[in-house]
Amino acid sequence: MTDEQTTPSAPPPASGPADSDRTYALVCYILQILSVVTGLTAIVAVILAYVRMTEAPEWIKNHYTYQIRTFWYGLAGMVIGVLTIWLLGLGLLIMLATGIWFIVRAVVGLIRLSEGRSHTDPRGFWV
């Protein structure tokens, strides 16, 4: 007879409110990235961030603040681009730069969220 010892497997990690908030923040980042193609998903992302922000843990609130700022700064950049489009294509350059900046911020935020880190300055303009 062999004496086999079986060790109980570890239970799966409990999914609590923090996991739910992390998932919502993840969805917001994905919606922001998709908004470069669709345009409207950024509005859904910012509404979701505003709604979920009040109940989230501090480090997730940090991400929601970052997402909200990204939306408003990006919208301002696009409006400035549209208003200056008649200046020898300057508006197109502004809109292109804003689009790239928007994607970079969303991707950096997504990476930080997946690593469980918060942003050093979520209210800042730069990444």
> What pLDDT does residue 13 have?
44
Give the pTM.
0.83
The CB density around residue 99, as the number of other CB atoms within 10 Å, is 16
The full set of domain ranges for the chain reads 18-114
Contacts of 49 (CB under 8 A, 6+ apart): 25, 28, 64, 67, 68, 71
For residue 15, the model assigns a pLDDT of 54
Provide block-wise average pLDDT over 10 residues at a time, the chain (127 residues): 45 59 97 93 98 95 98 97 91 96 97 95 90
Find, among 39, 63, 34, 64, the residue nearest to 50 by Cα: 64
- State residue 1's pLDDT score: 52
